[in-house]
Structure 1
Amino acid sequence: MPERTDHPAGDQAGTATQVFVDHRELVFAIVYNMLGSVADTEDVLQETWLSWTGRTAHAQADRIDNPRAYLVRIAVNHALARRAAIARRRETYVGPWLPEPLLDEAAPDESAERAVRSESVSMALLVVLESLTPLERAVFVLHEVFGYAHTEIANVLDRSPAAVRQLAHRARAHVHARRPRYRAHPRVRQEATERFVRASLGGDIVALMEILAPDVTVWADGGGKAAAGLRPVRGRDKAARLLAGYATRRGSGLDIRYRRVNGDDSAVVFDGDAPYAVMVMDLTPDGEQISDVFIVTNPDKLTHVRRDAGTTAEEVSA
């Protein structure tokens, strides 16, 4: 995959590479929100790059009127094709499946182009999007997340605008029925996350009972490769006992870092230098309690997690 480089003027290959690099983060964000997997997204970007260079090798890149739209179209259709392979993998997946966490690694002085990657939707919404058809999800992501007009999406998907509007209506109704249009203030989320981590990793059952909603659900994705249940745990009593069990590993040297994961304040747990778990919480509409806990322990989904960033639990408590 190409990195940003300088190329002599008139260099056709260099121009094509630069155009791709300029739009890479936008394409990454769109595809990731369609697939929920960093690894699959990187594969789709590679396929998009090959399609793009194959196209520009036989014609001047500037003959493509809108390179951005062209790249998005290629990437979206590659992503739709990949959904079939993902569905087959899901059939044999052990336990609950959660999206691969996307950590915000961007530094404050990085470019606006790279910052677009942080436009991924929340972990909770990604879980809801899994219940849409691939076309419904593509339309929802392009329209609701990235603001594409129905006519633009019609060109991307090679569908009529009327068909796209129908897909958009079904997707929006389904998503809003399962997830109300509410987002807690970042400070509220941060405080709830810190309270939850202190209670769960401190083994404080009383505190957990206070912060967990009565109908809370804990989703733990170990993929059969790490400790996790075979199905979601529902209800405050069961969830509190399960989460307090994580406290038994605290003495073995777990290190907690507060990071932004899929745009939300979350906790990343390390065992030594190795990532042990990513914990993301979703709040009730009033912001007072936690309605869902998403815990990813599958090591295959933590390969992009690095230890050298984030605020530690000790720094928060200081």
Structure 2
Amino acid sequence: MDQAQEFEAHRPRLFSLAYRMLGSATEAEDAVQDAYLRWHGTEPGQVVAPGPWLAKVLTNLCLNRLTSARAQREEYVGPWLPEPVRTDGGALGPMETAEQRDSVSLAVLVMMERLTPPERAAVVLRDAFDYSHRDIAGVLDCSEANARQLYRRAKQHLTDDKRKFASSQELGGELLTRFLAAAAEGAMQQLEALLADQVVAWSDGGGKVSAARRPVVGREMVARFLAGLFTRWVNEVRIEIVEANGAPVVLGWEDGELTSFGALEIGEAGITGIRLVRNPDKLTFLANQLPGLSQTS
């Protein structure tokens, strides 16, 4: 196996790591390509353990990107949401358990933004890739004790903030179907019945398309916001339901272009959060994962 083939064998795992670190498929692909250039610059046979070597190089490339991304996101117009990725084809690894699905949900990826870059690396390597604390220390060039502390602190932040998600994917799909039907019909009572009291809706337009620039909070306000949105959509948008970021999501297509993505967060009280991505830059990767859909009527 030559160098290029060796790297390609690791590419899916590397992309999965980079996406969890960065919350952006586009940036993840760029980081993986940068890792390839580092790999290409080595002599054949120089790297004894390619997998760990590539993971360390890629993690450090992501740490550098996260540092600059923070400054950019402070200037972002409106709420910032991760770039969605279709996951039923294995793009982000297995999605067999609730934990695996939750780890790439938009809600968790947003919470990960609150961590420091090293904390984020520690929790991704430990939870998603089963690295030992000793291995994490080797990747981050710190002591094992420090790696443990980074992981413990990160998990505490996530536990403090995390909402309770539904463990059943079927429940999410069933609620999504009912939610879409009520919103499309403008059935306010049925729509409000699906929403938790303090439900929050976030819209990411990035200043490029129309979107709410502040979170919409509360059952009545969110219901009105969604009913108004779907009223405008009814004759212009074709709806698709697919799996992305580990859960059933809704896609909106206009004139063959993917223009909207919506994901629900579900808790014991009903729908607790709604995340809408409308920034066209963040929908390109997902659209390219859906061959044929953009061409259908």
* TM-score above 0.5, yes or no: yes
Letter in 2 for 1:75: L
Counterpart of 1:137? 120
How far has the Cα of 1:157 moved from its partner? 0.9
- Once the 2 structures are TM-superposed, how far is the Cα of residue 105 of structure 1 from its aligned partner? 6.0
From the superposition, tell whether residues 30 and 115 of structure 1 become closer, same or farther in structure 2 (CA, over 3 Å).
Answer: closer
CA deviations on 1:27-59 (whole Å, 9 max, x unpaired) are 10111011101111111011100001102xxx3
Of 29, 34, 42 in structure 1, the residue corresponding to residue 16 of structure 2 is 29
- Conservation of the 8 A alpha-carbon contact between 2:88 and 2:246: no
Q: CA deviation at 1:180?
A: 5.0
Report if the CA contact (8 A) 2:15-2:92 is conserved. no
SS in 1 for 2:20: helix
**Match of 1:247?**
230
Aligned length: 285
- Distance (Å, rounded) in 1 between the aligned partners of 2:75 and 2:229: 27
The answer for the alignment partner of 1:3 in structure 2 is: none
Identity, in percent, stands at 36
Larger deviation, residues 139-148 vs 246-255:
246-255
CA deviation string 1:250-306 (max 9, x = no partner): 33331111111111111111112111210000101x2x5100000000001011233
Which consecutive residues of structure 1, in runs of 5 or more, have no partner in the other structure?
Answer: 1-13, 107-111, 311-318
> Is contact 2:86–2:243 with CA below 8 Å preserved after alignment?
yes
Q: Check 1:271–1:173 CA distance in 2 against 1; reply closer, same or farther (3 A cut).
A: same
Residues 290 and 103 (structure 1), Cα distance of their counterparts in 2 relative to 1, 3 Å cut? same
- For 1:99 and 1:143, the matched residues in 2 are separated by 21
TM-score (norm 1): 0.85
Q: Which residue of 1 aligns with 2:81?
A: 98
Secondary structure of 1:252's aligned partner: coil
Q: Which residue number in structure 2 is paired with residue 260 of structure 1?
A: 243
Instruction: Give the direction of change, closer, same or farther, for the CA distance of 1:229–1:212 in structure 2 (3 Å limit).
Output: same
Shift of 1:65: 2.3
Letter paired with 2:6: V
- State the SS of the aligned residue for 1:116: coil
Contact 2:81 2:277 in 1 (8 A): yes
Contact 1:26 1:117 in 2 (8 A): no
> Is 2:3 the partner of 1:16?
yes
Task: Give the match's secondary structure for 2:93.
Answer: helix
Partner residue, 1:188:
171
Mapped contact 1:203–1:246 kept (Cα < 8 A) = no
1:223 aligns with 2:206: yes
Give the conservation status (yes or no) of the 8 Å contact 1:104–1:259: no
C-alpha RMSD of matched pairs (Å): 1.8
Q: In the aligned structure 1, how far is the partner of 2:159 from the partner of 2:242?
A: 27
2:27 is aligned, of 40, 45, 54, to 40
Structure 2, unmatched stretches of 5+, are: none
1:116 aligns with 2:93: yes
